Structure 1
Amino acid sequence: MTLPSPLPRLSAVAGDYDLLLCDVWGVIHNGRESWPGPCAALQAFRDQGGTVVLISNSPRPASDVVAQLDGLGVPRAAWDGFVTSGDATRRELAKRAPGPALIIGPPRDAPLYAGLGLEVTEDVAAAAFVSVTGPRDDTTETPEDYRAELSTAAARGIDLICANPDRVVQRGDTLIYCGGSLADLYAQLGGPVIMAGKPFAPIYDLALTEATRHRPGPVDRSRVLCIGDGVITDVLGAEQQGLDCLFIAQGIHGDAARRGDGTLDPARAGDLLVAEGTSARYAALDLAW
């Protein structure tokens, strides 16, 4: 096993990269507040001529999430472009219009479906496919609350399109279930799952295309650094795309990669990666300049 190299400060390698593809939730905010240090690091990278594209597994289109970032205090100066799993997933949903679709998710994710011409049904027996953004009430529900509903759909063999591959995210000090946890259950039940967000290729294709809108010439993939705290989304996605990755080993992993003195333990960070069959070039507890 090759351990990730500790990277306490992004500035140590910033000159090696032109483009950062940076995760959002768990790296620059926790769903309740933004973190000044990581935001400042992204802004410093841009100040020296780099480009930052935020790449999120949010199931909503990026245009709808920008207001959330503003509300959390993420400065516009910290990023150039923004793409989401919702952006990539809308293409999959459009292929299946008019449906009908059985939709699972909270009302706030309604912008995902705007303008696609999809019919909606609450009858799983009548659905042509299932679309999942997360639990309908992520403050109280778990994937088990959906076992009966998803079992019926899986028995019919219809596709489940998951607009948020994340299994969990940190909201404040609490971990909440996301769409990926329901997709896992559906796969266990034998149903086919389709995802376009991280770690899958469509969202990276969108992100690299977005980057060309903000910098001259084609993107040199050897000068792209992905940053994220999700092993099976951010790190695995970067590896599958042949891109360098900075693994933020705190976030959803809590203290699992910390030494007793509070510093990063590369061996423990490596264990988190190996457990999911992936690797990263660098690791840090948080993003700092």
Structure 2
Amino acid sequence: MTQTRLIPSLDAIAENYDAVLCDLWGCYHDGLKPYADAVEALRRYRARGGIVILLTNAPRPPASVKRFLDAMGAPEDSYDAIMSSGGACQRAVASGDYGQRFHYVGPERDRHMLADIGFEDTPAEEADAILCTGFEDDTRQVPADYDPQIANWRAHGVRLLCANPDIVVDRGHERLWCAGAIAQRYADAGGEVVWFGKPHRPTYEQSFSLLAEVAGREVAPGKVLGIGDGVFTDVKGALDFGIDALFVSGGLAAAEVGDDPEHPDPKRLADWLASTGQSPQFAIGRLR
């Protein structure tokens, strides 16, 4: 098992990589505003010639992600391009490979995922598939609230397309449920789930295609670093694809690895990572 090296900043390893695939929630921003140190780190990395692809499990297309970033004041010169699980899911729906009738599950703000590509919301009983982007109200609902719907979907044998495999996300100081929690509950009930986003291989293949477009050449996996705070999404996805991983421990796992999100306790970090079975090459409290 790889021994994780705790580093003080991205600068410490930046020269080893031509590009980074950087997570958003908990790494680049907290759902409300960008982390100033993360923005500066990525700006410095780009200034030395590195390419930054923001790779997010956001359940909406890259253009929507960009509008979200613009609204919170994220500077465009801190990244080169955006790849999202929602975009991959929307392309799959548009392809026709999963049918022509879709039932939407998620907040009103993401309903355009169907409308943008010419589909209307269909009752679950008549649908070829469920498109799930999250909870209708992630501030009040819990996964068990979807059990009646899950029983109905299971009874009709309809598959679920999950546009965000994350289970939870932190917005400011509030932890919220994501689409992955509904999808996992459906899978546990015996339903068929198609996952889009990290840690699944197709999202990394698409990211490397986007990276090649930005770079104007193929970039070898050994020269790419995955950055993120999700050990079972960002870290696992990177390692499974064969690229190095930088684990941002001050995000989702902050409470497990120390009292100061900026500076994890080395032993607690090592013990916790061992318990997860994941071994990123590097770790840092906050991206800086």
TM-score, shorter chain, exceeding 0.5: yes
Q: 1:228–1:141: structure 2 CA closer, same or farther, 3 Å change rule?
A: same
Question: Which residue of 1 is the match for residue 268 of structure 2?
Answer: 268
Retained in 2: the 8 A contact 1:155–1:191?
Answer: no
Q: 1:262–1:10: structure 2 CA closer, same or farther, 3 Å change rule?
A: closer
Deviates most, 1-10 or 49-58: 1-10
Question: Which residue of 2 is the match for residue 104 of structure 1?
Answer: 105
Shift of 1:203: 1.5
| 5+ long unaligned stretches in structure 1 | none
Shift of 1:97: 6.3
Shift of 1:248: 0.5
Retained in 1: the 8 A contact 2:250–2:264?
Answer: no
Shift of 1:65: 1.3
Could you tell me how far apart the structure 2 residues matched to 1:190 and 1:96 are? 22
Could you tell me how far apart the structure 1 residues matched to 2:259 and 2:116 are? 50
Note the alpha carbon deviations across 1:244-273, whole angstroms, 9 max, x for none.
Answer: 000001112233112679732233333443
Question: Which residue of 1 is the match for residue 149 of structure 2?
Answer: 149
Question: Which residue of 1 is the match for residue 20 of structure 2?
Answer: 20
Deviates most, 33-42 or 210-219: 210-219
Counting only pairs closer than 5 Å after superposition, residues 206-285 of structure 1 correspond to structure 2 as 206-258=206-258, 263-285=263-285
Could you tell me how far apart the structure 1 residues matched to 2:205 and 2:115 are? 22
Alignment TM-score, normalising by the size of structure 2 = 0.94
Shift of 1:7: 1.1
Question: Which residue of 2 is the match for residue 84 of structure 1?
Answer: 84
Alignment TM-score, normalising by the size of structure 1 = 0.94
Retained in 2: the 8 A contact 1:273–1:279?
Answer: yes
Indicate the RMSD between aligned Cα atoms, in angstroms.
Answer: 1.8
Residues matched between the structures, number: 287
Question: Which residue of 2 is the match for residue 9 of structure 1?
Answer: 9
Question: Which residue of 1 is the match for residue 70 of structure 2?
Answer: 70
Could you tell me how far apart the structure 1 residues matched to 2:31 and 2:155 are? 36
Could you tell me how far apart the structure 2 residues matched to 1:130 and 1:42 are? 37
Identity of aligned residues (%): 37
Question: Which residue of 2 is the match for residue 135 of structure 1?
Answer: 135
Q: 1:108–1:12: structure 2 CA closer, same or farther, 3 Å change rule?
A: same
Deviates most, 106-115 or 217-226: 106-115
Q: 1:242–1:29: structure 2 CA closer, same or farther, 3 Å change rule?
A: same
